[in-house]
């Protein structure tokens, strides 16, 4: 009996220890994922040496320095607050262009359809690159996207009168009818828009523009495309006929599969000749009205519900109907809509993917940029901001610089994504203070946007050594109160890190100001 009691006590003791350990691990994990704890230093990647060839030359020892690099974190921190003050701040701090850059663009507004489900940062940067106040934008968020993602997108679009979410969301399946239906949903919403848009273009969340808005407008008004729809494609090849001859079904949110034992599809309605092409387009407004109202287009849409990847036959087939507004019967593959590196075109169309292939499509790496720019299509596909961030950084800055150079109005300072700074002196000062080479220290630059923190710059090594803490005192105390929010987050993080004691000698300078700004008591821990 005594042995049994002893065994029980030992078991309970071990159980208690295990519960304690699990609790500690859980609490640490929760602390690590707490959004409030992620307001750390805003570190911007410097532009790579490869990228310098695509940017305007700098003078002397200066180099291009990015303003912001925490787009996703910034948007998530906004939550659903909204309000004019928060929106005004978001527009400026995320560097959106706020007025038409030419009369030519103002007189030819465009509509855009964006279908997205992931990569919040890439969506924000894509919208920022194509945004103009005279245009209109419909964003379709996949019904299966995470709630946090959808709420962040809602916060973003709530700040722009000409950007809205699709009134109905589909659970989009790759190669399924739901992908086509998502575009149709946005078209219905755009048809009711008071914005007098002239043509609509569709994008996915992993596209990025190559042409500027001015170049898009001029291309849409060129002799070949002025009153025509752009739907690259050809008569359906024999190898693609199974897509519209067999019946397919969507496994919701997953994939498309042939219906087992089912009959073949009937002939297309109205004896239409089937075409095969791209899912991307540039369509006139009158053609969109035809798509939404014509019994021919509606019958083809219904017939396409059990086809494979119907968005790759629907638009191009309708555009080959002579009676359709803006039809382009002899269009072929004409139209510089997308630059894509397909795996099977390696060695002929392109020299290989410098990033990686996913579903036989290249996710672009940095060394793919020269090929993209040389092709000069309207857009390039695909990018991933986390897999190859330097490629997006470089193309984004190259594109914004081109946009602003073409502008025929005064440039606002917050439209700039990067400015020239003295990188050499910063590197040298860092090497002296932090004791070591740039490579060994793996330095992180903590740089605020000009609209937030003036010329504040700080370098911290992974060892926690801080370069010249007195600079912080001088720069911070000279900032207006409205510009200190981001810096406050930075200060609160630094003062609770291992290198925090270095700042204690300066606390007298900050005590009162930080008491007003730092609501979560970060200074109390010192």
Q: Which residues are tagged catalytic?
A: 312
Could you tell me which residues come within 8 angstroms of residue 157 by beta carbon, excluding any fewer than 6 positions away?
Answer: 137, 139, 163, 164, 165
Q: How far, in Å, CA of 338 to CA of 276, rounded?
A: 16
- Give the C-alpha separation, 400 to 252, whole Å: 39
- Asked if residue 200 has a cis previous peptide bond (ω within 30° of 0), the answer is no
Distance CA 371, CA 346 (A): 13
Q: How far is CA 507 from CA 37, 43, 328, 450, 472, in A?
A: 22, 24, 70, 25, 11
Residue 306 to residue 273: CA distance in whole angstroms: 18
Q: 249 has which bridge partners?
A: 257
How many CA atoms does the CB half-sphere of 179 hold within 13 Å?
Answer: 27
* Residues composing the chain: 526
Query: CA torsion angle for 425, 426, 432, 435 (degrees, to 10)?
Result: -150
Closest Cα to residue 447, out of 464, 463, 471, 465?
A: 471
Question: What torsion do the CA atoms of 77, 81, 85, 89 make, to the nearest 10 degrees?
Answer: 20
Whether the Cβ atoms of residue 450 and residue 419 lie closer than 8 Å to each other? yes
DSSP string, 274-293: PEEE-S--EEEHHHHHHHHH
Per-residue b or e along 387-416, where b marks 16 or more CB atoms closer than 10 Å to that residue's CB = ebbbbbbbbbbbbbbbbbeebeeeeeebbb
Rg (CA), the chain: 27
Decide: helix, strand or coil at residue 181. helix
């Amino acid at each position: 009996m005594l042995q049994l009691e002893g065994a029980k006590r030992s078991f309970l003791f071990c159980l208690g220890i295990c519960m304690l350990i699990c609790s500690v691990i859980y609490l640490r994990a929760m602390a690590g994922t707490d959004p409030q704890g992620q307001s750390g230093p805003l570190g911007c990647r410097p532009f790579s040496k490869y990228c310098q060839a695509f940017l305007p030359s700098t003078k002397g020892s200066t180099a291009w320095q990015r303003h912001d690099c925490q787009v996703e974190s910034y948007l998530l921190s906004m939550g659903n607050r909204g309000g004019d003050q928060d929106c005004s701040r978001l527009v400026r701090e995320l560097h959106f262009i706020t007025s038409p850059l030419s009369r030519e663009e103002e007189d030819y507004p465009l509509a855009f359809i964006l279908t997205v489900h992931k990569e919040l940062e890439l969506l924000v940067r894509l919208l920022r690159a194509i945004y103009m106040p005279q245009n209109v934008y419909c964003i379709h968020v996949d019904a299966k996207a995470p709630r946090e993602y959808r709420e962040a997108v809602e916060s973003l679009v709530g700040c722009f009168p000409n950007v809205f979410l699709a009134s109905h969301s589909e659970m989009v399946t790759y190669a399924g009818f739901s992908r086509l239906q998502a575009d149709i949903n946005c078209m219905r919403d755009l048809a009711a828009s008071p914005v007098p848009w002239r043509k609509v273009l569709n994008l996915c969340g992993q596209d990025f523009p190559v042409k500027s808005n001015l170049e898009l407008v001029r291309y849409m008004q060129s002799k070949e495309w002025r009153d025509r729809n752009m739907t690259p494609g050809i008569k359906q090849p024999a190898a693609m006929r199974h897509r519209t001859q067999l019946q397919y079904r969507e496994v919701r949110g997953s994939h498309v599969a042939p219906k087992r034992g089912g009959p073949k599809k009937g002939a297309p309605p109205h004896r239409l000749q089937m075409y095969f092409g791209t899912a991307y387009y540039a369509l006139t407004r009158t053609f969109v009205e035809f798509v939404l109202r014509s019994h021919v287009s509606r019958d083809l849409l219904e017939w396409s519900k059990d086809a494979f990847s119907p968005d790759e036959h629907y638009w191009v087939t309708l555009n080959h109907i002579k009676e359709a507004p803006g039809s382009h019967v002899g269009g072929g593959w004409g139209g510089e809509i997308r630059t894509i590196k397909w795996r099977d075109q390696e060695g002929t169309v392109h020299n290989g993917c410098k990033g990686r292939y996913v579903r036989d499509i290249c996710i672009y790496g940095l060394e793919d940029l020269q090929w993209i720019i040389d092709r000069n299509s309207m857009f390039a596909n695909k990018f991933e901001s986390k897999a190859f961030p330097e490629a997006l950084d470089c193309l984004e800055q190259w594109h914004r610089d081109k946009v602003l150079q073409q502008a025929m109005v005064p440039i606002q300072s917050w439209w700039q994504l990067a400015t020239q700074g003295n990188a050499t002196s910063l590197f040298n000062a860092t090497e002296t203070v932090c004791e070591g080479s740039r490579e060994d220290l793996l330095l992180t630059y903590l740089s605020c946007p000009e609209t937030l923190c003036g010329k504040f710059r700080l370098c911290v090594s992974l060892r926690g050594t801080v370069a010249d803490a007195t600079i912080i005192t001088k720069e911070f105390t000279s900032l207006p109160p409205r510009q200190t929010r981001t810096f406050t987050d930075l200060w609160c993080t630094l003062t609770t890190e291992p290198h925090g004691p270095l700042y204690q000698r300066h606390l007298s300078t900050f005590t009162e100001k930080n008491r007003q700004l730092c609501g979560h008591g970060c200074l109390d821990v010192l």
